[in-house]
Amino acid sequence: MNWLDWTVIGVFCTVIMAIGLSLAKRGGGSMTDFFLAGRKLPWWLAGLSMMATNFASDTPLHQSGNARKGGFVSYWFYLRGIMTSMSIAFIFAKLWRRANVLTDVEFFELRHGKNSARILRITVASYNCFIFAPLKIGLFTLAMSKIAKVVFQMPETFQFMGCSFSSHITMSVGVVVFAMVYSAASGLWGVAVTDFIEWFIAIIGTYALLVLSFKACGGPRAMVDTLQSMGSDGRLPFDFTRLTPMTFLSPVLIMLFLPWRWIADGDLAPVQRLMACKTEKDAMLSQLMRTIMNSILRSLPWIICGLASIIIFAGIRIEDPNDAYAMLIHKLMPHGLLGLMMASFLAAFLSSTDTYLNLGSAYFMNDLYRRFIVKHKDEHHYVKASRYVTIVLAILGILIAVMSDNVFELFKLMLKVMAGVSLVRAFRWLWWRINGWAMLIAIVTATIVPLSLSIWKSAYFEPDGFMSFFTTTARPPAQWLIDTFHIVEPVFPNFLYFTVDVSLITFFVTASWLIGMFLTKPDPTEALKEFYRRVRPAGPGWKPIAKLCPEVKITDSLSADLFACILGCIFCYSAFFGITAMYFLRWKIAVIALIIAVVFGILLKYKVLDRYTRMAEIDRELQAKDC
């Protein structure tokens, strides 16, 4: 890197900081302003902010590395979330906006009643604030330290005042402090607007490298021909010369038959953006935008660059396939553009880190501090305290990154815990009978079962496990699937091990909360009626409560929402395959897939989006009459 590259990075950092600080007054008026941008985010800004948060700095490295190892078919792992994302867009986004809560944890008291949900609120808020948010920040910091080593090519250590420091960790800590400053100053307004800039910088750098990779390979046709001549068949899309149809379809079938991949009410950061939108329609459109852009626009260039690296670095041994993306950057990008690419990695890191700084602070301030510790203070007091909490969370995240060697394994365990409660979180919107005890049992069971499963697998299946002498032929469940269906791709075993583990966890957790729910009393009737009046959930699951609230007019249709989910999934998958086929010059497949995408896109527009517009108008009229 030369002076031009560092100038580009310097200009980027200056612009981000200036924007963040300039919004301090706008974001500091109240708790709602600081954590939900005053509920005034337009759909396009909320959608881009969610996309930027998902654009983590290490994502290009491991997606391109997976493509280099396992070929294009490895991308199935990243398409698995389209079904759940569509359910969030068409079923839950509008419900989150109607709930009118500041955090998803506050929702517990709205849904289950203040008295019965108090333990839930304290437990989950403490977990999210003191464990999950700092762990995410620490995870991002560790990932950034690897990027500093691989992408920025910094030396291992540097000397300062006679002491030796890690260059990579020091840089990562500096960037966390940078994100902390503007996040603490302007809250979600600063986070969302800087996310907007950061996403465009990141996507420009991504597509610039894609073009240069194609050029280095002689174009798409030459890349395809070269990969086939190298004996790399099976790495290309729509190529079954090495992969059997069963091998290719196995991960698809597994995704389709796993209930925890069908439906979800949203992760923590996206839910915050949905609640910050101006209207219900904005919330739905922001999530729809996030789903379409992430599945079609974001990741394809990384996969293609991973395939191109096989040609460009032919004959060069690369120990870690994830390093290939960084090697492409330094080999292909000229100065100036190289600086822009470095800025795009910083942008990806900042857009993820600032989100969890703001979100973790929201859990502490809204669900612990203002609710239980210091009540009845003015908004200025709470906003000021929120800024201090943001600083504390940044310090906790840095400490985790510096002191922990197993943060990645711990985070994988946390993902299994979250997946275990996904069904009960979704169905609490759709069925009145799910009570606070069911939620509490689900959370406790989802914490115990993953730990027990990990201990059992280590003891029983590892060669040095203390129970391994009982058997010599037993196989973990995921290994049985791999052997039975002949899944030979190197990417799939890790994916299947995680998938099978989460499926077992979900089964035990779901059985536990169902039993606990039927053995305990329903939530208080008044709490259910208040929730029904405010959120107006559709579907047969709320009929007993609907009879108690005849004045509530339901404009939603659960069957129509499910139909919209199906249309959206077909549109996304067909558009993805169509654009992929165009990249690889498979024109017949491209034309067929894109025609399907256009047809279902039109259906989505006229059968779904227009209906949401009419529903929003009816809701406004009903609210005006009530007033």
Mean pLDDT of 610-621: 64
DSSP track, 222-267: HHHHHHHHTT-TTSSTT--SSS-HHHHHHHHHHHHT-GGGT-----
What pLDDT shows up at residue 624? 55
CB of 132 closer than 8 Å to CB of 143: no
Instruction: Fill in the amino acid letter for 127.
Output: Y
Q: 133, 110, 105: which is closest to 120 by C-alpha?
A: 105
What pLDDT shows up at residue 404? 64
> Over the stretch 446-484, which tens digit does the pLDDT of each residue have?
888 877 777 766 655 454 444 444 444 445 555 655 566
How far apart (Å, rounded) are the C-alpha atoms in residues 527 and 124?
Answer: 20
> Which residues sit opposite 277 in a β-bridge?
41
> Over the stretch 476-502, which tens digit does the pLDDT of each residue have?
555 655 566 555 444 455 566 666 777
Q: 88, 94, 100, 43: which is closest to 612 by C-alpha?
A: 94
Encoded tokens for 601: 């896109």
With 60 as the cut, is the pLDDT of residue 506 above it? Answer: yes
The DSSP symbol for 165 reads: E
With 80 as the cut, is the pLDDT of residue 357 above it? Answer: yes
Q: String of b and e for 154-171 (b: at least 16 CB within 10 Å)?
A: beeeeeeeeeeebbbbeb
Band of residue 318 on the pLDDT scale cut at 50, 70, 90? confident
Average the pLDDT over each of 163-167, 265-269, 322-326, 408-412 and give the range with the smallest value: 408-412
Residues with Cβ within 8 Å of residue 518, at least 6 apart in sequence? none
What pLDDT shows up at residue 466? 42
How far apart (Å, rounded) are the C-alpha atoms in residues 505 and 448?
Answer: 10
> Over the stretch 97-116, which tens digit does the pLDDT of each residue have?
999 999 999 999 999 987 77
How far apart (Å, rounded) are the C-alpha atoms in residues 173 and 160?
Answer: 16
What pLDDT shows up at residue 261? 56
Band of residue 267 on the pLDDT scale cut at 50, 70, 90? confident
With 50 as the cut, is the pLDDT of residue 515 above it? Answer: yes
pLDDT, the chain, mean: 81
> Over the stretch 529-557, which tens digit does the pLDDT of each residue have?
999 999 999 989 999 999 999 988 888 88
Angle between helices 324-332 and 59-70 (to 10 degrees): 100
What pLDDT shows up at residue 471? 44
- Phi (first) and psi of residue 165, to 5 degrees: -130, 150
With 60 as the cut, is the pLDDT of residue 166 above it? Answer: yes
> Over the stretch 362-391, which tens digit does the pLDDT of each residue have?
999 999 999 999 988 998 999 999 999 999
Mean pLDDT of 234-243: 51
Mean pLDDT of 512-526: 93
How far apart (Å, rounded) are the C-alpha atoms in residues 260 and 340?
Answer: 39
Task: Tell me which H or E stretch contains 158.
Answer: strand 157-160
Instruction: Fill in the amino acid letter for 288.
Output: L
What pLDDT shows up at residue 171? 78
The DSSP symbol for 573 reads: H
Q: String of b and e for 122-144 (b: at least 16 CB within 10 Å)?
A: bbbbbbbbbebbbbbbbbbbbbb
What pLDDT shows up at residue 358? 92
Mean pLDDT of 254-258: 52
Q: 560, 548, 417: which is closest to 94 by C-alpha?
A: 560
Q: Is the torsion defined by CA of 520, 521, 524, 525 positive or negative? A: positive
Mean pLDDT of 557-582: 89
Give the max Cα distance, the chain.
Answer: 76
DSSP track, 506-549: HHHHHHHHHHHHHHSPPPPHHHHHHHHHHH---SGGGHHHHHH-
In percent, the amount of the chain with pLDDT more than 70 equals 80
Place of tokens 């859990």: 363
Cα→Cα distances 407→313, 360, 391, 402, 506, Å: 32, 18, 21, 10, 23
Q: 398, 2, 364, 7: which is closest to 178 by C-alpha?
A: 398
How many CA atoms are closer than 13 Å to the CA of 519, on its beta-carbon side? 9
Band of residue 244 on the pLDDT scale cut at 50, 70, 90? very low
Give the residue extent of every domain in the chain.
Answer: 555-627
> Over the stretch 37-47, which tens digit does the pLDDT of each residue have?
999 999 999 99
Angle between helices 436-461 and 492-519 (to 10 degrees): 140
Calculate the dihedral angle through the C-alpha atoms of 493, 496, 501, 503, rounding to the nearest 10 degrees.
Answer: -170
- Phi (first) and psi of residue 462, to 5 degrees: -75, 145
How far apart (Å, rounded) are the C-alpha atoms in residues 114 and 120?
Answer: 10
User: 488 or 599, which is more confident?
Assistant: 599
How far apart (Å, rounded) are the C-alpha atoms in residues 533 and 550?
Answer: 10
Mean pLDDT of 136-141: 82
Encoded tokens for 502: 């989460």
Average the pLDDT over each of 31-45, 48-62, 148-162, 585-599 and give the range with the smallest value: 148-162
Encoded tokens for 440: 């509490």
Distance of CA 258 to the CA centre of its chain: 19
Q: 304, 328, 297: which is closest to 572 by C-alpha?
A: 297
Cα→Cα distances 34→19, 39, 98, 164, 383, Å: 15, 10, 19, 39, 7
With 70 as the cut, is the pLDDT of residue 445 above it? Answer: yes
What pLDDT shows up at residue 465? 45
Average the pLDDT over each of 57-66, 170-179, 233-242, 494-503 and give the range with the smallest value: 233-242
How far apart (Å, rounded) are the C-alpha atoms in residues 147 and 171?
Answer: 10
User: 205 or 169, which is more confident?
Assistant: 205
> Over the stretch 410-420, which tens digit does the pLDDT of each residue have?
666 666 667 67
With 60 as the cut, is the pLDDT of residue 245 above it? Answer: no
- Which value, in Å, is the radius of gyration of the alpha carbons in the chain? 25
Task: Tell me which H or E stretch contains 160.
Answer: strand 157-160
Apex CA 82: angle with CA 408 and CA 194, to 5°? Answer: 65
What pLDDT shows up at residue 477? 59
Band of residue 5 on the pLDDT scale cut at 50, 70, 90? confident
**157: three-class secondary structure by DSSP:** strand
Cα→Cα distances 124→120, 128, 300, 517, 597, Å: 6, 6, 36, 19, 41
Residues with Cβ within 8 Å of residue 206, at least 6 apart in sequence? 60, 298, 301, 302, 344
- Phi (first) and psi of residue 94, to 5 degrees: -65, -30
Residues with Cβ within 8 Å of residue 68, at least 6 apart in sequence? 306, 307, 309, 310, 318, 321, 324
In percent, the amount of the chain with pLDDT more than 90 equals 32
Cα→Cα distances 498→124, 236, 462, 493, 506, Å: 24, 25, 17, 9, 12
Instruction: Fill in the amino acid letter for 153.
Output: Q
How far apart (Å, rounded) are the C-alpha atoms in residues 422 and 263?
Answer: 8
What pLDDT shows up at residue 72? 73
Mean pLDDT of 556-563: 88
